[in-house]
Amino acid sequence: MSADFAAARSIIRRGAWVTGLALAGLAGVYVMALQYTPIEARQGLAQKIFYIHAPAAWSALLSFSLVGLAGGLYLLLKDPRVDRFAACSAEVGVAFSAVMLTTGPIWGKPIWGTWWTWDSRLTLTLFLFLLFVGYLVLRAALHDREERARFSAVVGIMGLVLVPFIHLSVYLFRTLHPRPILMKPSAPSMPPEMLRTLLTSFGIATLLFIGFVTMRYGIALAHDLAEAHADD
């Protein structure tokens, strides 16, 4: 058992190192955004929140997608490690989506003239956020591990189904959101300084996701080991 706790502590330490590195990188990204990227002609300085908002959205959707994939894998394998990863990824996804839903209105107010509008992408994103808040509430309410993992897996798969609709919403419905600038048939329609900063921010956000999930997984593993030890 002591070796298992040592392994959990090692996972937490690795996650903390990755998280610290990513947070330092995040600070560097915003220095790049403020000093290196040009001011957008129509949106002015308000556009620079884009370098936080878009990576947060990417990491949130990545988190929720992995929760759904892990849920499907758990239903096949019944492996508690997969369920533990799904729970950790869901917590991190909720945190990133909270950043996304906060920075979006801050950016939108000076550009659109309103903090919030019920267009398709905003509505679907809010629904996904609430779905995974419900996911975490469900996990907290159920005490039987197998039942909790099984029910949570189903909710996670529901969230995974919703993720592609969020991306496609700008093509399927009228929305205030612009269409993606990186996933166009032609070259991205932005200056190279903006593109480099944006791609760097996506890399840093992904690293931050890895750090958060790794650290949270180690904490969850230690908690499960403590519970198992108490039961014995």
The secondary structure of the chain as a DSSP string is -HHHHHHHHHHHHHHHHHHHHHHHHHHHHHHHHHHTSPPBTTTBGGGGGHHHHHHHHHHHHHHHHHHHHHHHHHHHH--HHHHHHHHHHHHHHHHHHHHHHHHHHHHHHHHHSSS----HHHHHHHHHHHHHHHHHHHHHH--SHHHHHHHHHHHHHHHHHHHHHHHHHHHHS--SSPPPSSS-SS--SS-HHHHHHHHHHHHHHHHHHHHHHHHHHHHHHHHHHHHHHHH-
Q: Give the residue ranges of the chain where pLDDT is below 50.
A: 183, 185
Dihedral (CA of 174, 164, 217, 1) sign: positive
Q: Please tell me the predicted confidence (pLDDT) of residue 37.
A: 82
Domain 2-231: assigned CATH number: 1.20.120
Distances (CA, A) of 175 to 112, 118, 230: 12, 9, 53
Q: Please tell me the predicted confidence (pLDDT) of residue 181.
A: 58
Measured distance CA(148)–CA(160) in Å, rounded: 18
Q: Where are the domains of the chain?
A: 2-231
The length of the chain, given as a count of residues: 232
Q: Please tell me the predicted confidence (pLDDT) of residue 178.
A: 63
C-alpha closest to that of 123 among 169, 82, 156, 55? 169
How far is Cα of residue 97 from the mean position of the Cα atoms in its chain? 6
pLDDT digits (tens, 9 = 90+) for 133-147: 999 999 999 989 999
Q: Please tell me the predicted confidence (pLDDT) of residue 12.
A: 94
Q: Token digits for 2?
A: 């002591």
Q: Please tell me the predicted confidence (pLDDT) of residue 179.
A: 61
Measured distance CA(146)–CA(21) in Å, rounded: 36
Q: Please tell me the predicted confidence (pLDDT) of residue 110.
A: 80
Q: Please tell me the predicted confidence (pLDDT) of residue 185.
A: 45
